[in-house]
Structure 1
Amino acid sequence: MQTDWAEIVCEVPAEMVDSLADFLVELTGNGVGIDNLHLDTFSLDSVEDTPIKSVKGYVPADAGLEEVRIRVEEYLRTSGPSFAGFVYRQPVVNVVRNEDWANNWKEHFKPVRIGQRMVIKPTWEEYQEQPGDLVIKIDPGMAFGTGAHPTTRMCLESMERICFDHLGGKLPPHLLDVGTGSGVLSIAGALMGATGIVAVDIDPDAVRVTEENLELNEVTVVEASTTPLDRIPGDFGVVVANILAEELVRLSAQLIDRVAPGGWLILSGILTEKEQLVVDGFPGLALIEITHDAEWSCITMRKAA
């Protein structure tokens, strides 16, 4: 049966985009668009720096649409006033036929280079590899990221610096990926020489997508699961955690315990305003660097040998 989709369009200040996008992803379980570009696209830098942006969520155009519309209106009315420049505008609902959505959203996904060596390539795009490239093939679907979001991008860049600038071109064998999402960081770890990778996420759908992308990239050294952090045995030469700042701090003792002596800890998913909160939440580790991209921070630390 042909399914139609409803596109819910909200006009909000640029400062509210990330908050609204997170709300829509959690509410709908589907992709989010900004100004006709997918939120987590390969052309993220092409989003214009305009004060008001159109944020779009997608849900089936069925009996549940009205409830979703009401919840979006409620969110805008209650959360919007805390953002400078917010003026309430009623969300606009458009119906988009399924085949249009299924094909059109892919137009904005192009291969993107991250750091010096990594390239993330959607499966439907051609790319001519250059010498030394580490290519990650990805098919994110509607609900999961491509790896080009600033939080993931900075993790990848930090992993690359650790691998090539500090360790001579090969990561330690054991890597832990907390909040794996679509598995991009685990795949990158395997391409950089890690041979025993554990990837965990609280969302079973994220684990499923990770496993699909591992197969797509013919990576067999990653074990993906929903195993809680406190039940993961051993320690790891690199631990990367791309989750919310508050969760990083809550899990700090467990994350520190999982870092092997002399090992590295990469923390992302941190709004810059919460950067110091996270730094203070990880005592006893040496602060190596803090990088920034838009309103996001990525913190790299190291445990004494």
Structure 2
Amino acid sequence: MKFLRRGSFSVKWLEVAVTVDPEYQEMVSQVLLDQGVQGLEIVDPYAFRQVLDENRYLDYADDGLIESYGEKVIIKAYFSTDRDAEKLKSTLNDEFMRFLGLIPGYTLRIRDDSEWKDNWKKYYKTFKIFERVVIKPTWEDYSKTGDEVIVELEPGMAFGTGTHETTRMCAEFLDELVKGNEKVLDLGCGTGILGIIAAKLGASEVTCVDIDDAAYKACIENVRKNHVSDKVRVVLGELKNIETEKYDIIVVNIIADVILSLLPEFRKYSVPETKILLSGIIADRRDEIANAVKEHGYCLVTEKKQGEWVAMQICTDF
């Protein structure tokens, strides 16, 4: 669940966080729901492990994240601060005893969404993502030097701050390949960081596409703040939702499984000279992607590696 701030106001919530063994999850959730919650969040480490084991789409899971959850289930319920905390606590104790025969460990406290909404910003600073390109959070001041290109970014709830290796490698490719007047497609654009970089480096026409509504809205706002609305259009949807046009550069910074599913489609949007940039590939799947690239009739031009991630530049072999 996500809480949003409006203007200078923050939202306060009465949070009840219950820690229980997995077998009590449904009963505890029902007890909380019966009290008229305004939001319910369940952190179930077992379910998360199962999803990661069965779903290869989650290449982006951080190392150590699963282990940090332990074995218990944490159920968080959010109530209006108008509720009488002591009365709610008494009611919960009665209901837990009635349905579980015990009172599980839980905490009850007032939470302010400003605790987590903006605190991360103090760790996100202006930095040079590659050679000519500097990423500047909107809340920081920075004066460019020489031929630097400044990209102002407000990530919001979308992926793409520029700090992740997958994004940095794409930025490096763009720094090398954009010479001026290119037509660029940024597929899975997130915040729009790569499309905006391309536009600021000299691309004349950029199309940013993402299926996520939060990313779509963040991208539109970042395009506006960077004064590239005349070059960059933003589309909510998938590759199939945009016109079949030919591009000079196609950037696909997603995950391996989506890349595999899209490989057959890139030909419709390419000419032999098109540079297709693939990123979001975990190193363990590098060979799988390289083999699929060859099987679909593309040529692997070059590749980059940072940390546990690989990015490739490929082209069509008509």
TM exceeding 0.5: yes
**Superposition TM-score, scaled by structure 1 size:** 0.70
Mapped pair 1:183 → 2:199:
no
Write the distance in 2 (CA, Å) between the matches of 1:202 and 1:81.
24
| Aligned partner of 1:287 among 300, 303, 306 | 300
Q: Tell me, which stretches of 5 or more residues in structure 1 are unaligned?
A: 9-61, 164-169
The match for 2:152 is: 137
Deviation at 1:4, TM superposition (A): 3.9
Structure 2: distance between partners of 1:203 and 1:262:
30
* Kept after mapping to 1: 8 A contact 2:44/2:72: no
Q: In the alignment, residue 249 of structure 2 is paired with which amino acid?
A: V
Match 1:110 to one of 106, 111, 125: 125
For these two proteins, the number of residue pairs brought into alignment is 243
Q: Which of 297, 300, 303 is residue 313 of structure 2 equivalent to?
A: 300
The residue type paired with residue 297 of structure 1 is V
Aligned to 2:287: 276
1:208 to 217, 228, 232: 217
Matches of 1:155 and 1:300, distance apart in 2:
9
- TM-aligned CA deviation for residue 63 of structure 1: 4.4
Deviations 1:124-153 (A, max 9, x none): 111221111111000112444312211111
Counterpart pick for 1:253 among 251, 264, 267:
264
Please list every run of 5 or more consecutive structure 2 residues that lacks an aligned counterpart in the other structure: 1-9, 18-36, 55-62, 77-106
In structure 2, the CA distance between the partners of 1:6 and 1:293, relative to structure 1 (3 Å rule), is farther
**1:126 maps to what in 2?**
141
Deviation at 1:101, TM superposition (A): 2.6
Give the Cα–Cα distance (whole angstroms) in 1 for the partners of residues 197 and 16 of structure 2.
Answer: 34
Within 5 Å, which residues of 2 pair with 1:1-305?
2-4=11-13, 63-65=38-40, 68-69=41-42, 71-76=43-48, 78=50, 86=67, 88-90=70-72, 96-163=111-178, 170-220=179-229, 221-230=231-240, 231-283=242-294, 284-303=297-316
Relative distance call for 1:79 and 1:302 in structure 2 (3 A) is: closer
Q: Cα RMSD over matched residues?
A: 3.0
Pair 1:99–1:254, CA change in 2 (3 A): same
- CA deviations 1:161-213 (Å, max 9, x no partner) are 223xxxxxx14521111001110011011011111111111112211111100
Letter in 1 for 2:140: E
The residue type paired with residue 169 of structure 2 is: M
Q: Which structure has the larger Rg?
A: 2
Partner of 1:20: none
Q: Indicate if the aligned counterparts of 1:200 and 1:228 stay in contact, CA closer than 8 A.
A: yes
Q: CA deviation at 1:260?
A: 2.3
Q: 1:80 to 1:175 in 2, by over 3 A?
A: closer
Tell me, in whole angstroms, the C-alpha distance in 2 between the residues paired with 1:225 and 1:89.
41
Counterpart-to-counterpart distance in 1, 2:15 and 2:301? 46
After TM superposition, give the deviation of residue 251 of structure 1 in Å: 0.9
Contact 1:151/1:296 (CA < 8 Å) preserved in 2? yes
How does the TM-score come out when normalised to structure 2? 0.68
| CA 1:80–1:303: 2 relative to 1, 3 Å | closer
